[in-house]
Amino acid sequence: MSAYKRILLKLSGEALMGDDAYGINRATIVRIVREIQEVTRMGCEVAVVIGGGNIFRGVAGGAVGMDRATADYMGMLATVMNALALADTMRQEGLVARVMSAIAIEQVVESYVRPKALQYLEEGKVVVFAAGTGNPFFTTDTAAALRGAEIGAQIVLKATKVDGVYTADPKTDPSATRYPSLTFDEAIQRNLRVLDAAAFAVCRDQNLPIRVFSIFKPGALRRVVEGEDEGTLVHV
């Protein structure tokens, strides 16, 4: 049984790479989709904000010296590509998904309209938000906080490669320990880069908690949705 009626899952583009240098690893995206499918069967309404780092990484060399706004728009297009791949994999796995973009690409995906997104969620569809906020200089973390607040999500789930927030990098420091929970103020004061500052501000102001967990840990998403002590909870 789901502890949450509606969640916003923040999925980085890098999470789709698997062990590849860039791009989308087919086995990885299928596994992630099946994890999402499992929680929808538990009665949870799911929206996803996806990043584009895996696609943009393949052209990053050519972006050196590029105007920041131009590079950010390229990144937004990368998130649209990821969203289409994610939605198509969901279709193949029996899930109904709708992609909504913050920038208008009407021949490819719907533009983001809040009432329509809410309707899709209430109908049991998975909504995939692409193109971040539609503005340069704002990350997809900020988009996740914004969309989470707009759709009335009860929690933002940030899926990473690490199973929570640690006192140090667990890959290099074996003595690092996981924080079971943190307040937003503690995370900011300790300079823990859970989300960027703008995303923190939105979540804190809207009393929207964040759970950081590993999407690579089998069953972790289900355990988070069931309310178990998985990852790190960041709250007011």
Distances (CA, A) of 37 to 28, 67, 84, 87, 158: 14, 39, 17, 12, 17
Write the CB contacts of 123 (distance below 8 Å, at least 6 apart in sequence): none
Query: If you search the block for the tokens 């320990």, which residue do you land on?
Result: 177
Binding-site residue set for ATP: 10-13, 53, 57, 160, 166, 169
Instruction: Count other Cβ atoms within 10 Å, centred on residue 21.
Output: 8
Nearest to 6 by CA among 183, 214, 208: 208
Nearest to 11 by CA among 133, 100, 128, 153: 128
Binding-site residue set for UMP: 52, 72, 133-140
CB-based contact 195:138 (threshold 8 Å):
no
Binding-site residue set: 10-13, 52-53, 57, 72, 133-140, 160, 166, 169
Query: If you search the block for the tokens 């998975």, which residue do you land on?
Result: 126
